[in-house]
Amino acid sequence: MYNSPDAVTRSLCVLFLAAALSACGQARDEKAEVATVTPPVASPWQSNYLDIGRTASPAEIAAWDIDVRPDFVGLPPGSGNAVQGEEIWLARCAACHGDFGDSNQFFSPLVLGNVTAGDIESGHVAALKDPTRVRTTLMKVATVSTLWDYINRAMPWNDPKSLSTDEVYSLVAYLLSLGYIVDGDFELSNENIADVQARMPNRNGMTQEHGLWKVDDVPDVHNTACMTNCEASVEVASSIPAFARNAHGNLRDQMRIFGPFPGEDTGIERGAETAIVSVAEEPLEPEAGLASSAPMELLAANSCLGCHQIDSKLVGPAFTAVAEKYAGQDDAVVYLSRKIRLGGSGVWGGFMPPMAQLSEDKAEEIARWLAQ
């Protein structure tokens, strides 16, 4: 939503190609330069295109112009209570964000208790200096208008723009109450939202002094184009650890199959001689429990371990419980690999998101391990 200043001239500049830009410029600013569009001399084969496009109606603008600025221009009047907000939250938001906005299952947590009364006082969230703390939305966001606009335009995740204005106010109030920025029964409205802004814990936490806004800004990091004897010593500080070599899948299959630089076969151990044969001929080890044979890299790389543990329930069921449930079922591998890739709900209570990033082979590998 734009700030409608009185100064704006509402009359349409009558623009003909030759005079178009300068005419408009004169109305505003004699010195204004037009960077890209240089009006060509009027010619019969380049006629006036200013009849193209039409005026937007007020109703059309109202339908689409939904943005809310930090100074609350564009914020529709309305109100909502944090108590109502909690009800709407549980129905529309909690499945992804958790009852208290703390879930890490689908998105980074919104709230984790890392915002303090001191932060609300200072306007700087102190925990942002601590690399061990998880960064949440309430720690980062400086402007309450952003929360309102975000929820209003893009939430819920799978049903955006379905909330009423008052529902958005209620949800913002509930979210703020989770961070103790407002009380648990706070009524947020267009009248008092500016007071809430004054309590935003990271309201002073943003800087625009960084040299990366404009093309001609001065950069903040400098190197020189040294050509000879530039480094006294060259030391490798980090590389991909051996256990993670195959974490992105076999790199051999991600490179062109011919040419000067074929892909490294990361499905085998580094330095293994005649490796493909020896791996294939390796006798199968006797079964020694689910944990010892777990495809840990695969599980770790695909966030499986965020919700599942080997032998205890976390968010989802323990892997041992899954294995037990489907033991002896003929189509267990097919069933489980399908479940892994497509997600599911109702079997264990709650639901599992689809793991579509897994190839069928990888999903099958996990399923085979579970069904073994």
Partner 1 sequence: MSEKSGREIVPQAYAPSPTVTERPGSFGQLRKAPESFLDKSTIAAVSKSGIDETRRQLLRTSFTTALAGMLGAGLSARALASQGDPDILTLPPWSKSLGNAVATNPYGQPSKYEANIVRRQSPGLTQTDQASVSFSPLQGMFGMITASGLHFERHHQGWVDIDPRRHRLMINGLVSKPMVFTMEELMRLPSVSRIHFIECGANTGMEWGNAAVPTVQYTHGMLSCSEFTGVPLSLLLEHAGYDKATAKYVLAEGADGSSMTRTIDIERALDDVIVAYGMNGEMLRPENGYPLRLVVPGVQGVSSVKWLRRLEVGDMPYATKDEAIHYVDLMPDGQHRQYTSIQEAKSVITSPSGGQRLLTKGYYNVSGLAWSGRGTVERVDVSFDGGRNWYTAKLEGPVLPKALTRFNIGWNWDGKPAILQSRVVDSTGYVQPLKRQLKEVRGSRSVYHNNAIQSWQVTESGEVENVQLT
Residues 313-372 that bind partner 1 (CB under 8 A): 353-354, 356-359, 361-362
Residue span binding partner 1 (CB under 8 A) among the ranges 63-71, 76-84, 188-196, 329-337: 63-71
Among 77, 118, 160, 350, binds partner 1 (CB under 8 A): 160
With CB under 8 A as the contact rule, the residue among 240, 291, 327, 347 that binds partner 1 is 240
In angstroms, give the least distance from the CB of 172 to partner 1. Answer: 13
**What is the full DSSP assignment across 325-359?**
HTTT-TTHHHHHHHHHHH-EESSSSSEE---TTS-
CB of 369 to partner 1, least distance (A): 16
CB 63 within 8 A of CB 74: no
Question: What is the rounded distance in angstroms from the CA atom of residue 61 to the CA atom of residue 74?
Answer: 12
Task: Compute the least distance from the CB of residue 131 to partner 1, in Å.
Answer: 6
Binding mask 243-262 for partner 1 (x = CB under 8 A): --x-xxxxx-xxxxxx-xxx
Q: Which amino acid is at 104?
A: N
Q: Which is nearer to partner 1, 41 or 237 (CB)?
A: 237
Q: What is the 3-state secondary structure (H, E, C) of 120-161?
A: HHHCCCHHHHCCCCCCCHHHHCCCHHHHHHHHHHHCCCCCCC
Closest Cα partner for 166 from 77, 86, 245, 95? Answer: 77
When the beta carbons of 83 and 300 are compared against partner 1, the nearer one is 300
Closer residue to partner 1, CB minimum distance, 39 or 184: 39
Q: Which token pair is 52? A: 């193209």
Radius of gyration from C-alpha coordinates of the chain: 30
The residue type of 48 is N
Q: Which of 76, 78, 113, 205 binds partner 1 (CB under 8 A)?
A: 205
Classify the C-alpha dihedral 261-265-266-271 as positive or negative: negative
φ, ψ (nearest 5 deg) of residue 41? -65, 135
> Which CB atom, from 54 or from 330, has the smaller least distance to partner 1?
54
HSE of 241, CA atoms in CB hemisphere, 13 A: 3
Q: CA 253 to CA 264: how far, in whole Å? A: 9
Shortest distance, CB of residue 16 to partner 1, whole angstroms?
13
- Provide, rounded to whole angstroms, the least separation between the CB of residue 72 and partner 1: 11
CB-CB contact of 53 with 28 (8 Å): no
Report the nearest approach of partner 1 to the CB of residue 86 (Å): 22
Verify binding: residue 59, partner 1, rule CB under 8 A. Answer: no
Size of the site for partner 1 (CB under 8 A): 137
The answer to whether the beta carbons of residues 232 and 176 sit under 8 Å apart is: no
Residue 282 makes contact with partner 1 by CB under 8 A? no
Among 140, 199, 338, 368, the residue binding partner 1 under the rule CB under 8 A is 140
Q: How far apart are the first and last CA of the chain?
A: 59
Residues 85-124, mask of contacts with partner 1 (x by CB under 8 A)? -------------------xxxx----------------x
Query: Per rule CB under 8 A, is residue 44 in the interface with partner 1?
Result: no
Residue type, 279: V
4 CB-near residues (< 8 Å, 6+ apart) = none
Nearest CB to partner 1, comparing residues 50 and 327 = 50
79 scored as a contact of partner 1 (CB under 8 A): no
Q: Which of 18, 19, 67, 113 binds partner 1 (CB under 8 A)?
A: 67
| Residue 22 found at the interface with partner 1 (CB under 8 A) | no
Which of positions 163-202 make contact with partner 1 (CB under 8 A)?
Answer: 202
